[in-house]
Amino acid sequence: MKHIRNFSIIAHIDHGKSTLSDRLIQETGIVSDRDFQDQILDTMDIERERGITIKSQTVSLPYTAKDGKEYVLNLIDTPGHVDFTYEVSRALASCEGALLIVDASQGVEAQTLANLYLALEHDLEIIPIINKIDLPSAEIDWVKGQIEEDLGLDPEASILTSAKNGIGIADVLEGAVELLPAPEGDPAAPLKALIFDSHYDPYRGTVVHFRVIDGKMKAGDTIKFMSNDASYKVEEVGVFQIVRVPRKELSAGEVGYLIAGIKTVSDTRCGDTITHVKGGCEEAVAGFKDPTPVVFSSIYPVASDDYEELTTAMEKLQLNDASLIYEKDSSAALGFGFRCGFLGLLHLEVVQERLEREYGLSLILTAPSVQYEVEFNTGEVEIIDNPALYPDPTTISRTSEPFIKAAIIVPERYMGAVMKLCLDRRGISVNYQYLTNSRMEMIFELPLAEVVYDFYDKLKSITQGYGSFDYELIGYKETDLVKLDFLINGEKVDALAQLVHKDRAVSRGRVACEKLKEEIPRQMFKVAIQGAIGAKIVSRETISAFRKDVTAKCYGGDISRKRKLLEKQKKGKKRMKMVGQVEIPQSAFLAVLKSDD
């Protein structure tokens, strides 16, 4: 165990985690140059295209130190995005140390801090690394000052690298051996192992990624998962070296995988504890919780014949993504579909893109909403995430909505713009402090419903890309909620309904009506588009009718002839309006989701 080091790389988005992993893998030579490709640990197409990491990946690097000893470095690559914080925290729980990367030109940002606090909660040893030192805009002394002031770490211990050009990679490996502690654990104790990720292999079933804390595991053992008491017989254990390399056994301190013929990923929960069925450990590793969805949206196929294909696609996708939660849903306008829960907006986009790309489906998503708590006059409490299920307002005594605590780090000059944005979104300013003379951290409490709409894009644009944002849920607060319905030609369209705050209903209704007017084609009769709260109409737009000139053949003569023809036309249009159906195009559903800019 003295020669094992388990560590992960943490950083803000785009500070160079995956590139540094690439260089460490090349330096230790486990992949030949011919087989190497950039972002080698990002296996999904969508990860490569967007340049983000979605799933944690692991790799065992054999390394010969300067003193001639052989070491095994287990690198756990973690996602940097705020939606996947829970996966990051489980990956950190299986490490003893972390490499904290800071971009030499951007400095410390919101998620650098958030990930540092996560690492400190797990008592990890932290090595600061200043990356991208080859950039013309790199300011190394300025970043060292930030590392000391904002992060409270020793700036002289930081390692200077350029992962892109391979500068300083040997120092990182040497630093990991010298500065990070070896794992502790008792190979003779009962088996205790922590699951930090899993993925699905179509031929072998679920491949579980885990870290052995105490004891040993080998093929043929009967193991159980402590959260759901499911027991399995192990077929194979081994380590990751880009490809899976089987081993006879894994003992305390090691990181690897196991295959045990597990049919679904949902049986193996991230953060769960594995032990032997006979003579297992007494208590599980602390900190296990089911990932909770925060954003909800319904997914429908564009062509209702594709419902069967969507069902199969959702089942297959859930094999790979255990945090995706869904149930059947139906709508009068859109037919059958699924109501899904996501960890955040990025997770929603990723799921939508994977369904469209990997399974060739065309989809419509309804407006993303959050879970509201509704307390009835009888004292019962119900949780509602779907506007269609919102009960009669007279039966409700109060409603509450989830709030988040948002930490926003911005250069001082954008303070006013950020303040205005957050107050417009019903935010409450809690605190702000200067991190350095020109950068500040602003803390707000914001309703989650206002953030899922388009908050992040707005923040990036008003701060010209310099603002960084991190959030955590803090619980429910009372709110004044109304259901905003949309009527087209007098008929309610349930798929367009939204739950909004009372003060926002009129402006949101107006914007949506204008958008619908642009998208819905003209008919032979007038079409009214109305936004309504209960029986009260709050906004309206009218699509004017096509009009045939019936008086064209009456030139001169008595006015009563013209009037008679116009009256006849009017009656015809009235009759058409009563029986006429207004087809709503797909683009109209999407247009309502977009903001007014």
Could you tell me which residues are annotated as the binding site for GTP?
14-19, 131-134
Interhelix angle for 85-93 vs 110-121, to 10°?
40
φ and ψ of 404, to 5 deg: -120, 160
Q: Which amino acid is at 3?
A: H
- 3-class SS at 409? strand
Contact 20, 172 (CB under 8 A): yes
Name which of 427, 430, 439 is nearest 463 in CA terms. 439
Q: Which amino acid is at 134?
A: D
Contact 131, 9 (CB under 8 A): no
Name which of 450, 451, 431, 449 is nearest 441 in CA terms. 431
Q: Which amino acid is at 66?
A: K
Q: At 546, which helix (H) or strand (E)?
A: none
Residue ranges of the annotated binding site are: 14-19, 131-134
Q: Can you say how many angstroms the Cα of residue 215 is from the centroid of all Cα atoms in its chain?
A: 35
- 3-class SS at 93? helix
Concatenated DSSP letters for 196-261? EEEEEETTTEEEEEEEEEESEEETT-EEEETTT--EEE--EEEEEESEEEEESEEETT-EEEEE--
Q: Can you say how many angstroms the Cα of residue 14 is from the centroid of all Cα atoms in its chain?
A: 16
Contact 589, 496 (CB under 8 A): yes
Contact 200, 262 (CB under 8 A): no
Q: At 529, which helix (H) or strand (E)?
A: strand 527-533
Report the length, in residues, of the chain: 597
Compute CA distances 89 → 43, 123, 445, 458, 570, whole Å.
21, 12, 23, 28, 67
Q: At 144, which helix (H) or strand (E)?
A: helix 140-149
Q: Which amino acid is at 75?
A: L
Name which of 277, 300, 202, 213 is nearest 250 in CA terms. 213
Contact 389, 372 (CB under 8 A): no
Compute CA distances 283 → 96, 104, 240, whole Å.
21, 44, 28
What is the longest distance spanned by two Cα atoms in the chain?
A: 111
Contact 399, 374 (CB under 8 A): yes
Count CA atoms closer than 13 A to 86's CA, side-chain side: 21
Angstrom distance (rounded) from CA 570 to CA 562: 12
Angstrom distance (rounded) from CA 354 to CA 200: 15
